Amino acid sequence: MKRILVLTLFLAAALAAGELRLFNWADYIPEEVLAEFERRTGARVVLDTFESPEAMLAKLAAGGDAEYDVVVPPDYYVLEMARAGLIRELDHAKLKNLKNLAPEFQDPAYDPQNRHSIPYLWGTTGIAYDAEAVRGEVDSWAVFFDPEGYQGPCLLLDEMRETIGAALKYLGYSLNDTDPAHLEEAKELLIGAKRRCLGFAGGIEARSRLLAGDAAIVHAYSGDIVQIQPEAPAVRYVVPKEGGTIWTDAVVITKRAPHPELAYRFLDFLLEPEIAAQIANYNAYATPVAAALPYLDEALKNNPAVFPPPEVRKKLEYIKDIGDAIRLYDRVWTEVKAR
């Protein structure tokens, strides 16, 4: 038995040289892509997964930044991680595929000029519904927030910023509004919606309940819904006319990465058109790599739920780090949950 232990330690040490340590959401990168990278570089990819950005940040702050090479955080964490000194400024000379990015991702708001990150995938948050189970047209947040607009059993996302954000959007404010009076209005709307709807659920749970026919309208992430459309053609996804959230998952290299050169190769690899397309096809989210478009599945390429048309794009907003005002959100959220 001891021999196994010694062997394990020994193997871990021996392999440490040629491996890329990746920290990502579970089931977010296709196995084929990792295998291709391993084949090209001869390095091994060690993939560890996290279930929430908070857990990821905690692990990195506890010394994980010297253990992992590449991490996939949500957009609003990039600058925070940079400020905390957890990630490095990228040397663009080592990323020759950066030019493959669509123009709007060359200089994203969450990380100007991609100084610390490259985009991985992007998507929106909006409304998914079963076209056969709703009474009328679904195109507004009113299905949740207006008693007159009620169209059938509904479910809100159990995500503080997304859900309060949806109410703010319905009221015509910004997702990142920090005016206490506006938040108070949003709170009242959410309490009403909670009474009429079935409550709150995580993205996947909400989707399952929509598929099972338990809910007719759910607050949802675009990719989760597009992914299942081939199996459930009656399910539609729409960005409400008041606007919704746009988000991007980014890829960063840790400041103390044990294998920085391999990490750069991996980032550049992710920006290759065919690889980016493979990742997008697998997850049914939109790719920021413009050059990847020709390789996308037909179901994705011309799908407005994946690539919203320009007039919808204009109404999308990023969730931003709002500093201490997050306490106002926390309070509103607690009161909504408690009622």
Residues with Cβ within 8 Å of 326's Cβ and at least 6 positions away in sequence, in order, are none
Which residues pair with residue 252 across a beta bridge? 71, 117
Cβ atoms within 10 Å of 253's Cβ, excluding its own: 26
For the segment 12-51, give every residue that binds other proteins (CB under 8 A): 12, 19, 21, 23, 25-28, 31, 34-35, 45-51
Query: Which of 73, 108, 123, 203 contacts other proteins by CB under 8 A?
Result: 203
Pull the structure tokens for residue 196: 């009429």
Residues with Cβ within 8 Å of 147's Cβ and at least 6 positions away in sequence, in order, are 192, 196
Instruction: Please identify, among the stretches 180-188, 196-204, 260-268, 293-301, the one whose residues bind other proteins according to the rule CB under 8 A.
Output: 196-204
Instruction: Please identify, among the stretches 128-136, 150-158, 202-210, 329-337, the one whose residues bind other proteins according to the rule CB under 8 A.
Output: 202-210
Strand pairing of 70-71 and 19-25? parallel
Q: How near is the Cβ of 49 to other proteins at its closest, in Å?
A: 4
Strand pairing of 200-201 and 117-130? unpaired
User: Which lies closer to other proteins via its Cβ, residue 181 or residue 212?
Assistant: 212
Binding mask 232-261 for other proteins (x = CB under 8 A): x-----------------------------
Nearest to 197 by CA among 129, 132, 285, 256: 129
Query: Which of 224, 242, 249, 317 contacts other proteins by CB under 8 A?
Result: 224
- CB < 8 Å & 24+ apart, contacts of 179-186: 180/328, 183/328, 183/329, 183/332, 184/332, 186/332
Pull the structure tokens for residue 42: 């001869």
Pull the structure tokens for residue 230: 């081939």
299 lies in the site for other proteins, by CB under 8 A: no
Instruction: Please identify, among the stretches 63-71, 134-142, 308-316, 330-338, the one whose residues bind other proteins according to the rule CB under 8 A.
Output: 63-71
324 lies in the site for other proteins, by CB under 8 A: no
Using CB under 8 A, list all residues that contact other proteins. Answer: 1, 4-5, 8-9, 12, 19, 21, 23, 25-28, 31, 34-35, 45-52, 62-64, 67-68, 202-204, 207-208, 211-212, 224, 227-228, 231-232
